[in-house]
Structure 1
Amino acid sequence: MTANAFSRPIFVKDEGQAVREIACVADALAFLTTWPENRRGPIHSTAVRACQAAREGRLTVDGARNAFAGFARSVHIREAGPVSVEPWMVTPRRGRMPI
């Protein structure tokens, strides 16, 4: 676990609609720098500045996480969590076999 790791990851959809896990400041900055320039705005700029400040120790990691989460919500790419559950991840109920 890095010093810049988020307390909880944030899940977002990228341009290809794949769900990505953003687990630290570096992940957030990488995602923000690849965001299309024509879709950037003041909330994007705020999230970038917050992540840079957290990387440099001028802002808490939670502050950067909150800024990135706000950006993700504002552009409607925030996901509640991993979307798919594989059958082997589910514990079968007692007395029943998985299908």
Structure 2
Amino acid sequence: MTAKAFSRPIFVKNEDQTIREIACITDALEFLTKWPENRRGPIHNTAVRACQAAREGRLTVDGARNAFAGFARSVRIREAGPVSVEPWMITPKRGRMPI
């Protein structure tokens, strides 16, 4: 995944509410292909066409990324991304010392 990788991944929520990382055109096309047919529309079709065009070299990878991000926002599945919480970031409760 060299030239077809996104500059930054896009995080989306699956139907089972898990967060999925979309890091390249192949990931985006796979996700869009599995999207329920009864929930597809013009924005979905635009994202598919943009990803296909980028895969064929007729559109930039960033153009495809933007189209996929627009689709994810329009169907409200776009996520900010997973957050990692390190132990030092958690404030201990009063009167208790961290272990």
Structure 2: runs of 5 or more not aligned:
none
Query: Structure 1 CA distance, aligned partners of 2:81 and 2:30?
Result: 20
- Cα distance in 2 for residues equivalent to 1:27 and 1:46: 16
2:88 counterpart of 1:92? yes
Q: TM-score, normalised by structure 1?
A: 0.86
Runs of 4+ in 1 over 4 A off after TM superposition: 96-99
How high is the sequence identity, in percent, across the aligned residues?
Answer: 81
Counterparts of 1:98 and 1:8, CA distance in 2? 36
Q: Secondary structure at the match of 1:59?
A: coil
1:36 match: 36
Q: Note the C-alpha offset of 1:92.
A: 2.6
TM-score, normalized by length of structure 2? 0.86
Unaligned runs of 5+ in 1: none
The structural deviation recorded for 1:3 is: 1.1
Could you say what the CA RMSD is over the residues aligned between the two structures, in angstroms?
1.9
Q: Which has the larger radius of gyration?
A: 2
Residue 45 of structure 1 deviates from its aligned partner by 0.1
AA in 2 matched with 1:36: P
